């Protein structure tokens, strides 16, 4: 349908600095992670992109009839009177819209439908499934909005405050800020929000976002021990929770410990689950993101994937008991602690790893077997390839502790009650594809 994405980008006619391209009588725009999508019902002769220096407008264009947010036209906006408010907001003086410059998955397209549409597209090339969109929202407010400086995607009419086009209930603009600049948790002097949703806690000044080094974000209240995953509130009655594994990279699940149990968030079932009883004694303190202690013992995390027939079936996180913590002492950091650290017990030395599984270092704690290796680690800032070489050559030997807890998050499968529906839909798609192929050959 109008050429491949690469062909369009190489041979098409670009509209200024925007992301729109005209090729073979069609206009398209890329949506990262989704591909290039074509504008429907567009008047090519009158189409133009916004002439703006603002990068957040690169996916907005218009013809004589419509304003487009990506490949989707926005109803009720007059292209002849369009004004850029900023932060993703646009108005024609009567109607106002938010058009996000950041693509997101299309929540209105179920996974099964996406798969079936992708299957049809792979054979027929008729219409790519709209897996990703630039989200848009109409703002029901007669007052003129202004973009809020230094608060990305926020606008106000002087009284009401909007984030991504949605009202922030009771927000105090003077004190509103992000809890963390890379997440969508916001807070003012009193209220706390995930995106535009008001969370049922108050801002006490001790909120932070915790996550694995490459994992999901959680909002953590350090005073009350409350935890949120987006707007999902971990059981309040079981608070306070102690969060362990922040910035960890030898695990697939952070753990949250309260007085009676060890918990984790199952990102496939979207809920908090119990991994077992609280086996720890007294206060929990992190040695580094992958290793922690209670009042008596040292524990560490270990993560691994389970695979069957070359397909990942689960991501597992284990907690191991290493030793009593008496007589252990830290000797030195390696690479300012980024790579790891060296610890000593008696006449033995150990390497505590911080590089993680993404560096293909599979274990968390290694015994250092000889003085030359110890000397190299002490006198060098750290070299990832050298550390891997030490492991391969047996200079660093995995330290095997005693497994205490195991967490397995299984990959989501099609529920049994949907399987027959899925197979029936697949049969329909097969028939449609066959018919399309027959028409192509006629």
| Candidate from 56-70, 268-282, 320-334, 378-392 with smallest mean pLDDT | 378-392
Residue with the two structure tokens 């680690």: 377
Same domain, 223 and 287: no
Does any domain span residue 159?
no
Same domain, 266 and 221: no
Q: Could you give the 3-state DSSP secondary structure of residue 114?
A: helix
- Structural domain range at position 222: 169-238
Q: Mind listing the pLDDT tens digit for each residue in 283-300?
A: 999 999 999 999 999 999
Q: Mind listing the pLDDT tens digit for each residue in 198-244?
A: 999 999 999 999 999 988 999 999 999 999 999 999 999 999 999 99
Q: Report yes or no: 289 and 244 within 8 Å, Cβ to Cβ.
A: no
Percentage above 90 pLDDT, the chain? 78
Mean pLDDT over the full length of the chain: 90
Q: Mind listing the pLDDT tens digit for each residue in 411-424?
A: 875 554 444 455 55
Among the candidates 199, 214, 238, a domain finishes at 238
Same domain, 370 and 232: no
Same domain, 255 and 403: yes
Number of domains comprising the chain = 2
Same domain, 207 and 327: no
Which residues lie across from 351 on neighbouring strands? 342, 366
Same domain, 249 and 381: yes
Same domain, 259 and 191: no
Does any domain span residue 187?
yes
Residue 113's pLDDT is 60
Same domain, 233 and 300: no
- At residue 3, does pLDDT exceed 80? no
Same domain, 230 and 247: no
Percentage above 70 pLDDT, the chain? 88
Alpha-carbon distance 86 to 290, whole Å? 42
- At residue 430, does pLDDT exceed 70? no
Q: In what order do the strands lie in the sheet with 48-49?
A: 48-49, 60-62, 67-69, 72-74
Does any domain span residue 261?
yes
Same domain, 193 and 206: yes
Q: DSSP string spanning 299-342?
A: EEEEEEEEEETTEEEEEEEEEEEEEESTTEEEEEEETTTTSEEE
pLDDT band at residue 257 under the 50/70/90 scheme: very high
Q: Mind listing the pLDDT tens digit for each residue in 43-100?
A: 999 999 997 878 889 999 999 999 999 999 999 999 999 999 999 999 999 999 999 9
Gyration radius of the chain's alpha carbons: 27
pLDDT band at residue 310 under the 50/70/90 scheme: low
Does any domain span residue 126?
no
Among the candidates 217, 238, 259, a domain finishes at 238
Same domain, 271 and 219: no
Tally the C-alpha atoms within 13 A of residue 33's C-alpha that lie toward its C-beta: 9
State pTM to two decimals: 0.87
Residue 416's pLDDT is 47
Same domain, 207 and 288: no
Spacing of C-alpha 89 from chain mean position? 24
């Amino acid at each position: 349908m109008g050429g491949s994405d690469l062909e369009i980008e190489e041979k098409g006619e670009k509209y200024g600095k925007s992301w729109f391209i005209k090729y073979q009588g069609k206009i398209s725009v890329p949506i990262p992670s989704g591909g290039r999508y074509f504008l429907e019902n567009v008047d090519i002769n009158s189409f133009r992109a916004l002439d703006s220096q603002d990068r957040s407008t690169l996916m907005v264009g218009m013809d004589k009839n419509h304003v487009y947010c990506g490949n989707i036209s926005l109803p009720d906006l007059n292209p002849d009177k369009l004004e850029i408010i900023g932060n993703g907001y646009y108005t024609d003086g009567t109607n106002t819209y938010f058009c996000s410059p950041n693509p997101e998955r299309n929540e209105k397209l179920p996974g099964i439908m996406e798969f079936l549409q992708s299957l049809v597209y792979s054979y027929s090339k008729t219409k790519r499934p709209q897996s990703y969109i630039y989200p848009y929202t109409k703002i029901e407010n007669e007052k003129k909005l202004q973009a809020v400086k230094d608060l990305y995607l926020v606008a106000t009419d002087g009284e009401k405050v909007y984030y991504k086009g949605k009202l922030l209930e009771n927000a105090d603009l003077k004190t509103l800020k992000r809890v963390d600049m890379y997440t969508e948790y916001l807070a003012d002097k009193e209220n706390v929000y995930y995106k535009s949703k008001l969370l049922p806690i108050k801002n006490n000044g001790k909120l932070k976002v915790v996550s694995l080094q490459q994992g999901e974000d959680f909002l953590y209240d350090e005073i009350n021990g409350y935890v949120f995953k987006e707007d999902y509130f971990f059981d309040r009655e079981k608070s306070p929770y102690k969060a362990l594994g922040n910035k960890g990279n030898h695990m697939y699940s952070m753990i949250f410990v309260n007085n009676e149990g060890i918990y984790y968030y199952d990102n496939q079932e979207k809920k908090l689950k119990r991994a077992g009883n609280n086996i720890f004694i007294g206060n929990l303190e992190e040695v580094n993101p992958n290793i922690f202690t209670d009042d008596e013992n040292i524990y560490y995390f270990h993560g691994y994937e389970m695979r069957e027939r070359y397909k990942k079936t689960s991501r597992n996180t284990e907690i191991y008991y290493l030793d009593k913590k008496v007589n252990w002492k830290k000797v030195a950091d390696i690479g300012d602690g980024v790579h790891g650290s060296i610890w000593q017990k008696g006449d033995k030395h150990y390497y505590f790893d911080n590089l993680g599984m993404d560096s293909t270092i599979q274990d968390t704690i290694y015994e250092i077997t000889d003085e030359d290796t110890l000397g190299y680690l002490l006198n060098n800032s750290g070299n990832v390839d050298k550390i891997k070489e030490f492991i391969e050559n047996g200079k660093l030997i995995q330290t095997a502790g005693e497994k205490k807890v195991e967490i397995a998050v299984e990959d989501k499968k099609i529920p049994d009650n949907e399987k027959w529906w899925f197979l029936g839909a697949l049969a329909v798609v097969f028939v449609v594809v066959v018919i399309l192929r027959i028409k192509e050959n006629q």
